[in-house]
Structure 1
């Protein structure tokens, strides 16, 4: 069963964006880039590392380098549970 994006964010997932530099299979001196974005858990980043392993096993373009950033969309100071509402006047 797949979780919704909101459920994932509430469970601690954040948006991970990776910029992957790889060499063209026929032209090894040419670098190309690929952008990958997925909700993932920091600091282990299991989905990112699974994708990198997939790339190394299935795609012919050898990796040169990977740069990534991670940002939690909902942090503890930005969200709180509100059980009721009080109106004055």
Structure 2
């Protein structure tokens, strides 16, 4: 589903996050456990959150690739939670326009 930004609201544009939600993306939360570079026996937790598309999670995969290539703390585990915030039954056209002064 492709959704185009239209002139809506005071800013004149719809937010990219909202458009992604309409296209089926949902809020993804990942708990990343990694080893401390200077203390390998110690695990540290990092929480990452972004809109992403399940089940392939391209945004999360890009972030984890960045982590492995650029950061010192080796990954130990990644636990993922995902929820679509807008579901098809929550959006319906009402066929009317309401204007308030």
Interval of TM-score (by shorter of Structure 1 and Structure 2): 0.7 to 0.9
> Which consecutive residues of structure 2, in runs of 5 or more, have no partner in the other structure?
1-14
Kindly provide the CA deviation profile for residues 59-78 of structure 1, in whole angstroms up to 9, marking residues without a partner as x. 00000000011100101122
Q: Please state whether the residue corresponding to 1:28 is helix, strand or coil.
A: strand
> Which consecutive residues of structure 1, in runs of 5 or more, have no partner in the other structure?
none
* 1:19 alignment counterpart: 31
Does the alignment pair 1:61 with 2:73? Answer: yes
* 1:33 alignment counterpart: 45
Return the TM-score normalized by structure 2. Answer: 0.78
Which 10-residue stretch deviates more, 75-84 or 59-68? 75-84
Kindly provide the CA deviation profile for residues 38-82 of structure 1, in whole angstroms up to 9, marking residues without a partner as x. 000111100001101110000000000000111001011222122
* 1:45 alignment counterpart: 57
- Tell which has more relative contact order, 1 or 2 (C-alpha 8 A, sep 6+): 1
Aligned partners of 1:35 and 1:82: how far apart in 2?
39
Return the TM-score normalized by structure 1. Answer: 0.87
Aligned pair count reads 83
Aligned partners of 2:67 and 2:54: how far apart in 1?
21
Runs of 4 or more, structure 1, over 6 Å off, are none
